[in-house]
């Protein structure tokens, strides 16, 4: 399904932020903004829903904590009890302080790694994927705002030009 979109190029993140606010105020729908680096507050300006990745991170952390508890209980108490430093591994609770660093590490490990994996899946990134960004310069120094025009293309182009876009293109998207 082909659809017509406008690409507006910016070369400064502050100008981009102002432009996003103006375009939103003019009631246009911004499809996407491609940036070479994360721009603070852009998600709020674009009106994106708040990220839920923090919640997943908390759940992964809890999972990591549980895994570490079960794992250390199996390794150190059930499978191969040892006497370390005069503290025989007869019960989990009495040896628990020794396992706290492991609980901490596994919590962080699970939260961090699974959060990154979640982020990749959610952003539909995987190996050999074809790049989605419309212009290689967005990985260098340019910001691209993608807008779907809903009435006059010319009006929208004028608006974009007034926000400080350095280049404006009409694109037929597949």
Partner 1 sequence: MYTFSNRLKMGSIILMALGLLGLGVGFVSAPSTVEEAKAMVATQDDGHGGDHGEEAAHAAPAEEAHHDDAHDEHLLHQLQNRPWSALYVAAFFFFMIALGVLAFYAVQRASQAGWSPLLFRVMEGITAYLVPGGIIVFVILVLSVLHMNHMFPWMDAEVVAHDELLQNKSGYLNPTFFLIRAAIFLGGWIFYREYSRKLSLAQDNSDDNRNFIKNFRWSAGFLVFYLITESIMSWDWIMSVDPHWFSTLFGWYVFASMFVSGITVIAMISIYLKSKGYLPDVNDNHIHDLAKFMFAFSIFWTYLWFGQFMLIWYANIPEEVTYFVTRIEDFKLAYFGMLAMNFIFPLLLLMNSDYKRINWFVIMTGIVILCGHYMDVFNMIMPATVGDQWSIGIPEIGGVLFFAGLFIYWVFTALTKAPLQPTRNPYIEESRQFHY
Closest approach of Cβ 64 to partner 1, in Å?
15
Q: How far is the CB of 143 from partner 1 (least distance, A)?
A: 21
Q: Is 58 in the site for partner 1 (CB under 8 A)?
A: yes
Q: Two tokens at 142?
A: 């340019």
Smallest gap from residue 55 Cβ to partner 1 (A): 10
Q: Which is nearer to partner 1, 98 or 112 (CB)?
A: 98
- Residue 100 contacts partner 1 per CB under 8 A: yes
CB atoms within 10 A of CB 72: 20
Span near partner 1 by CB under 8 A; candidates 93-101, 114-122, 124-132, 142-150: 93-101
The answer to whether the Cα torsion of 172, 147, 7, 131 is positive or negative is negative
Nearest to 24 by CA among 51, 47, 49, 48: 47
- The torsion of the CA quartet 71, 75, 78, 79, rounded to 10 degrees, works out to 130
Closest CB 4 distance from partner 1, rounded Å: 37
Cα 71 to the chain's mean position, in Å? Answer: 30
Of the candidate residues 38, 97, 127, 136, the single one contacting partner 1 (CB under 8 A): 97
Residue in 38, 85, 127, 136 binding partner 1, rule: CB under 8 A: 85
Site membership for partner 1, residue 62 (CB under 8 A): no
Token representation of residue 35: 């940036």
3-state secondary structure of 13: helix
Q: Which residues bind partner 1 (CB under 8 A)?
A: 54, 58, 85-87, 97-98, 100-101
């Amino acid at each position: 399904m082909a659809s017509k979109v406008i690409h507006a190029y910016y070369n400064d993140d502050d100008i981009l932020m102002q432009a996003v606010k103006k375009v939103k105020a003019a009631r246009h729908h911004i499809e996407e903004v491609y940036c070479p680096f994360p721009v603070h507050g852009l998600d709020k300006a674009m009106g994106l829903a708040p990220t839920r990745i923090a919640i997943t991170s908390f759940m992964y952390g809890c999972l990591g904590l549980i895994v570490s508890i079960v794992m250390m209980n199996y390794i150190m108490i059930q499978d191969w009890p040892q006497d370390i430093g005069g503290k025989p591994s007869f019960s989990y609770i009495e040896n628990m302080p020794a396992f706290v660093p492991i609980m901490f590490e596994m919590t962080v490990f699970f939260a961090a790694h699974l959060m990154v994996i979640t982020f990749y899946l959610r952003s539909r990134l995987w190996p050999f994927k074809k790049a989605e960004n419309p212009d290689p310069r967005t990985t260098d120094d340019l910001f691209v705002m993608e807008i779907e025009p809903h009435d006059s293309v010319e009006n929208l182009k004028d608006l974009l030009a007034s926000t400080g876009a350095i280049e404006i293109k009409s694109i037929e998207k597949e």
